Amino acid sequence: MSAFTYAITDLGHEVLIPTQATLSIRDVADMNHARAEFDKLERLLLDVIIPTLGAEGAAAAELRNRLEQVNVFSGNFCSRFRHMTAGGVQ
């Protein structure tokens, strides 16, 4: 079995991705921290900033789109690995 596989992105680009990955305890902690900080930023944008801009305006739509893009392309900060450590599942 190959250690890599090909995938096609939403934009039609072919990329080579590993079939397995190992995350250190530090990697998991960093992803958990990034996810928590993103959640705070998302709440601030959705609850305060976007309504102030006018929920239907172009700037508000762009901010909502960027939030979605970060979630999609970050793999939601490796959320499927959030309970793992270097030793396995906790």
What token pair was written down for 80?
């499927």
Give the tens place of pLDDT for each residue, 35-77: 889 899 999 999 999 999 888 889 999 999 999 888 877 766 6
Vertex 83 angle, CA 79 and 87, to 5°: 125
Nearest Cα neighbor of 17 from 31, 2, 32 is 2
Tell me the C-alpha distance between 38 and 28, whole Å: 15
Tell me the C-alpha distance between 34 and 22, whole Å: 18
Give the tens place of pLDDT for each residue, 3-44: 667 667 667 777 766 666 667 778 778 888 888 898 999 999
Q: How confident is the model at residue 89 (pLDDT cuts 50, 70, 90)?
A: very low
| Residue tagged 């305060």 (tokens) | 48
What is the distance in angstroms between the CA of the first residue and the CA of the last residue of the chain? 28
